[in-house]
Amino acid sequence: MIDGLSVLCFAGTYGLALVSDLARFAVRSASRGWMTLGLMALAWTVQTVYLANRAHESGTLPLTTPFESLLVLSWLLGAIGLYLVARAPKAAVGVFVLPVVVGLLAAAGALSNRAAWLDTRGAASFWGTVHGLLLLAGELCSCVAFVTGLMYLIQSRRLKHKRPASRFLPLPSLEQSERVNRAAITLAFPLLTAGLFTGVALVILLRGKSAVQIGWGDPKVISTIAAWLASGVLLHARFRPEMRGRRVMILTLLSFAFMVFTLIGMDLFRLPTAHGRKTAANPPAKSLAGESEAHGGSTS
């Protein structure tokens, strides 16, 4: 209940910041920009306090549940958005970043299960945290790539159709969006790969120590591998000159869709996954570790 209320506090404030930024289409005033910035700063500060409190109470990084993971992801993206809005209050960054932040928080509040991924200590706990951090960084890069890709596509469409720049929606140059997008794509794949491998290593480490087992046929595993492959295809495209521009940006959006499905698809569609459950939801045909022992490791 307290979790829900607190999430509602800062998610609502981010939502108000989004409304304030969307008001740029109707209200032209410097004070509107300052209001957006102020609301974002307030929401981010409350979220920071909330996460710090959770970390203090649990004595570990707040990455032990899918719920916390989404909160931290939205917090990091919120920090990037806040920095960009403070740096250029007139630019329409908030219009693109805030819906993702609010969406992640809504998913965290409404969908994510709050059971701890790991109930182990020692090395497994350490590798679990590394696994979580790597995937989180990869997911953050995917979010940044998505936002810049979207901005690129809108700006590119306008320029191709030879329309004048919108006074309501000032966007960064194509080159700037492309540069940030390329950097995010380049970082996302190795981080997701490392996160995936540490997840597999964790499964091996926990062999015989956990009551839950995850098989290759687990929807979470399939979607994670699909998201990872999509990220790989995107990285490949990013290095092919003939794919530059719109094609890479469209692939970025697709890759982001895979990632979103991996993050919230299990909860949203109530798919029977053993990942993140304390008991096996659906016994797999073949164990990921090749053994019958269950585990509580995470691959995403």
**Cα distance between residue 228 and residue 233, in whole Å:** 9
Q: Closest Cα partner for 104 from 226, 232, 267?
A: 267
- For residue 105, report the phi and psi dihedrals to the nearest 5 degrees: -70, -40
Minimum CB distance to another protein smaller for 120 or for 252: 252
- For residue 287, report the phi and psi dihedrals to the nearest 5 degrees: -70, 145
Which one among 30, 87, 279, 285 touches another protein, defined by CB under 8 A? 30
The reply to whether 47 sits near another protein by the rule CB under 8 A is no
Rounded least distance, CB 173 to another protein, Å: 5
Minimum CB distance to another protein smaller for 37 or for 196: 37
Rounded least distance, CB 273 to another protein, Å: 40
Amino acid at 169: L
Helix (H, G, I), strand (E, B) or coil at 134: helix
Number of residues that bind another protein (CB under 8 A): 25
Site string for another protein, 229-258 (x = CB under 8 A): ------------xx-xxxx-----------
Torsion angle (degrees, nearest 10) of CA 124, 126, 132, 134: -120
**Residue pair 83/53 in contact by the 8 Å Cβ criterion:** no
Which one among 22, 115, 169, 174 touches another protein, defined by CB under 8 A? 174
Amino acid at 283: P
Residues 151-170 that bind another protein (CB under 8 A): 155, 159-160, 162-165, 167
Token pair, residue 81, equals 């958005």
Which one among 25, 52, 83, 173 touches another protein, defined by CB under 8 A? 173
Residues at the interface with another protein (CB under 8 A): 28-30, 155, 159-160, 162-165, 167, 171-176, 178-179, 241-242, 244-247
